[in-house]
Structure 1
Amino acid sequence: MAQYKYPPHLVEVKSWAFDQEWKPGQVVKNAGIYRCRTCGDEIVVDKGAAIPSHHHEHTLLGPVVWQLLVFAQKHPGR
């Protein structure tokens, strides 16, 4: 489970981006922390990068399906 120390640096939003499911090999639209819906493991993926296909496997639990947990936002002009 993702953890944090400084609440002022996180904002709750109701974006559709958190509802989308990603399979290994798919290119993500948002940089951030992604959580496997099947087992709870977390990974960091850069914007425009593919979800690693070799990083994570299940044999008995079910398919590997990733979901955006924390969106990493870059401020304009930096």
Structure 2
Amino acid sequence: MALYQSAQFVDTWTDPEFDKIHPPRTVAPHSGIYRCVGCGVEIAVSEGHLLPPAHAHPHRLGTREAWQMVVYADHRPKLV
């Protein structure tokens, strides 16, 4: 589970992009934190970079290896 210290830097956002499941070694459509749907391990990936390949981390036999974005990293400048 992704953790954070200051709630002022995190918003709840409803978007179908969070529901998409991405196969291993596909290009990440957005920068953010992706969670393995099979075992729950989380990784940070920049937009345009490849998600980890199958067997990149340990899984129990029979679990699915695919990635789901759980945190979107917004690159737009913020007015303070």
TM range, smaller chain = 0.7 to 0.9
Give the equivalent residue in structure 2 for 1:72: 73
Matches within 5 A, 1:12-31: 12-31=12-31
User: Secondary structure of 1:8's partner?
Assistant: helix
Runs of 4+ in 1 over 3 A off after TM superposition: none
User: Secondary structure of 2:3's partner?
Assistant: coil
Matches within 5 A, 1:1-12: 1-12=1-12
Give the equivalent residue in structure 2 for 1:46: 46
C-alpha deviation, 1:55, in angstroms: 2.5
Paired positions, count: 77
TM normalised by structure 2 equals 0.85
Q: Is the 8 A contact 1:24 1:52 kept in 2?
A: yes
Q: Is the 8 A contact 1:32 1:45 kept in 2?
A: yes
TM normalised by structure 1 equals 0.87
User: Secondary structure of 2:27's partner?
Assistant: coil
Amino acid at match of 2:41: D
User: Secondary structure of 2:8's partner?
Assistant: helix
C-alpha deviation, 1:75, in angstroms: 1.6
1:62 equivalenced with 2:51 (yes/no): no
Q: Is the 8 A contact 1:56 1:64 kept in 2?
A: no
- Give percent identity, aligned residues only: 37
